[in-house]
Chains A and B, each alone.
Chain A
């Protein structure tokens, strides 16, 4: 029977006050508990019965200090798991020093969703089109995870394993995102392609962060969203550019190469052919932007 649900399914709810308390509940419910931060992914998914019904929803928002955004010369940018998309996107330091991340954050959804949704949630939900992911990948971010066996740090480019899947265990929590300081002269951008000017998922998302010195590319990172089972880097395209004099022709070549490192699909949002064409077009555009052409 097809039923269009207006109501949420029944579940238990607990508001925890510490990470350890949260972990205890996750362990107790052995994979049948779901973590609640902003709820902007979880609640719609529950309503539409898209995910397995959790026995318990564990609300993290009472954990003090988990929403802090901090920055210093040693650690770089540190985002707590509860830092909202708007808080990150509108943060002065993020806007100035981690521009791709700010642009990605402010390109997402609506003010209402950005006020409650978190960057950590965006990553953990792990849809291939997640906007914060390419930006964070291009900024060389890593995540800190805590579980029953202790803590570990995972570079973001090892975090995603497939559409909606990550290395995060059912009894683990992602509690911090670390973004290392970038070179002062580096430039970054996040370009999101979608049909409308708001409220769309990316058909293709491209983040590029690069450092140009005397016309030579000293370093560059290119990351793509919505064109592979996970957000991906394009290391071969990066290698084509690194150490070379940047020309329009080289940018074009790198953009074409980026295509070889992704595997877009046909779905109701776009065809494979269009996504491929757009990887080329948008990567070219992003590179031109950061290299000032």
Chain B
């Protein structure tokens, strides 16, 4: 067991983790943050997407130890108390979700995309979300949601 410090959604956690524990497992099972999902477990589907030091990553293939001392954002870190983040608002308004399982990862990838590119084209949105798999929506309303989110974020 190794002691690490994780900064998740602005809160610091001092926890002991095993070397072979993934960041996803530690988030879900040690910290009780079940918003981040496991789909494929091998970095193909993006359901486990979190933001580490401002960059999107598949937490299922990141060791918890690799996140020691790093700032991690999960889906739980977006809303401000009960107030939804503009991206979350957009997804609700447009209906950019059905079963919701891909949604946390999709929203975080959207945040990273819009942080770097506040006014993306459809093609840029599709490429920016290529690491996030969705089976339900056919992506169409997700892309619409991202465009609405971009307008909201730009203000």
Contacts and interface: CB of A to CB of B under 8 A. Distances in A.
A74 interface: no
Contacts of B41: 6, 47
Interface of B: 2, 18-22, 25, 38, 41-44, 46, 49, 55-58, 61-63, 65-66, 109, 112, 127-128, 130-132
Contacts of A111: 56, 109, 112, 128, 130-131
Contacts, number: 87
Given A10-B18, A47-B41, A39 B56 contact: no
B71 to A, nearest CB: 14
A7 B64 CA distance: 13
B129 to A, nearest CB: 8
Interface residues of A, number: 30
Contact of B20 (A9, A109, A113): A9
A10 B17 CA distance: 12
A86 B53 CA distance: 15
A110 interface: yes
Contacts of B55: 86, 115-116
Contacts of A274: none
Interface string A102-113: 000000011111
B42 A47 contact: yes
Which of A11, A13, A44, A110 is packed against the most chain B CB atoms within 10 Å? A110
A13 B19 contact: yes
Contact of B63 (A43, A48, A197): A43
B43 A113 contact: yes
Contacts of A57: 19, 63
A39 B61 contact: yes
Contact of A39 (B46, B63, B112, B127): B63
Contact of A13 (B2, B57, B62): B2
Contacts of B112: 111
A59 B66 contact: yes
A121 B88 CA distance: 36
Contacts of B127: 198
A199 B62 contact: no
A270 interface: no
B46 to A, nearest CB: 6
A61 interface: yes
26 contacts: A7-B20, A8-B20, A8-B22, A11-B19, A13-B19, A36-B63, A36-B66, A40-B43, A40-B61, A43-B42, A44-B42, A47-B61, A59-B65, A86-B55, A109-B131, A110-B46, A110-B130, A110-B132, A111-B112, A111-B128, A112-B46, A112-B58, A112-B109, A115-B55, A197-B130, A198-B131
